[in-house]
Structure 1
Amino acid sequence: MLAKIHIARKDLSLDEDAYRGLLRRVAGVASSRDLSDSQADAVLAELKRLGWKPKAATRAPAERADLRMVYALWGALHAGPLDREALRKWVQQRFSVSAPEFLKPAQTREAIEQLKAWQKRLKDPAR
C-alpha cells in the first residue's frame, strides 16, 4: 500500500509540504511508514478523490504458469489453431468470468482439472 501511496503522490505531483499535510489531515501522522492499514486505505481514498487513478496491473498470460496450462490443455483438446474465443465462452459458462486471465487461482486449478478430465474422456470413450 505504501508503494501505491508514493506512486499516487508522484502522479499527482504533490510537493513535500502538500503530501505531509495530506497525511496529517487524513491520518494524523507525519510519515507514511506510521500508517496503519485502515489509515493507508483512507489516504489512498483521499488521493483518488483528488484525481489519482491507479493503473490496472497488466501481467501477460505467459507470466502465470497455471494460465499457460489452461491454454495448453485447451490447445491439445482442439487440434489446429488456438481458438481463444471458444475458450473464453467455455470459461464464461463455467466460471462466470469473461476470459481465462480473470480466473482466480482456485478457479484456474478447477479449470485445469476439468480440461484434464475432458482429455481423459476423449482418450477413453468407454468411460
Structure 2
Amino acid sequence: MPITKRQIAVLHVLKQQAGFGEDEYRDTLFRVAGVRSAKDLDQTGFEKVLEWFEALGYRTPRKPNRVNFGQRPGYATQKQLDFIGDLRPKAFDHDTDQGFSHWLERFFHVSHPRFLSVKAAGSVIEALKAMDQRKK
C-alpha cells in the first residue's frame, strides 16, 4: 500500500530539518528503502526511513495527534479509541475518513468512534482485527 500525502509531507519536513539537498535525499531513500522518490514508498519503506531519521537524532511523528475525550460513563474508553485508531489503517486499504465513517455508520450506527459504547467499541476492535487478518 503506498504512503499517504501526509506521510510524504512528513518526509519532506524531515529532509528540510536535516538540510539535505534533493540528490542527498534521493540517495538516502534509495539506500534505506530502495526507491528514488517518496511517492514510490510503501508503509514498510516509510517506517525504515523514519527509523533512519530517528537514528540521526531527528524527532519523527509516530502517532497522529489524538484528541482525548476523557472518561465518559458508558462510552468507549480512551484506550479503546486509541486502539481503534491504530487498527484502522491496517484494516482499510485506503486510509480515508469517509470510508471508515461509512463503515461505522453502516454496521454500528455511529458517525465517529467517540460515540461508541464500551461494548460496541470492543466489537469494532474485533471487526478491525478480523479485517486485518483477512488482508494478510
TM, length-normalised to structure 2: 0.44
Q: Could you say which structure has the greater relative contact order, defined with CA pairs below 8 angstroms and 6 or more residues apart?
A: 2
The structure whose Rg is larger is 1
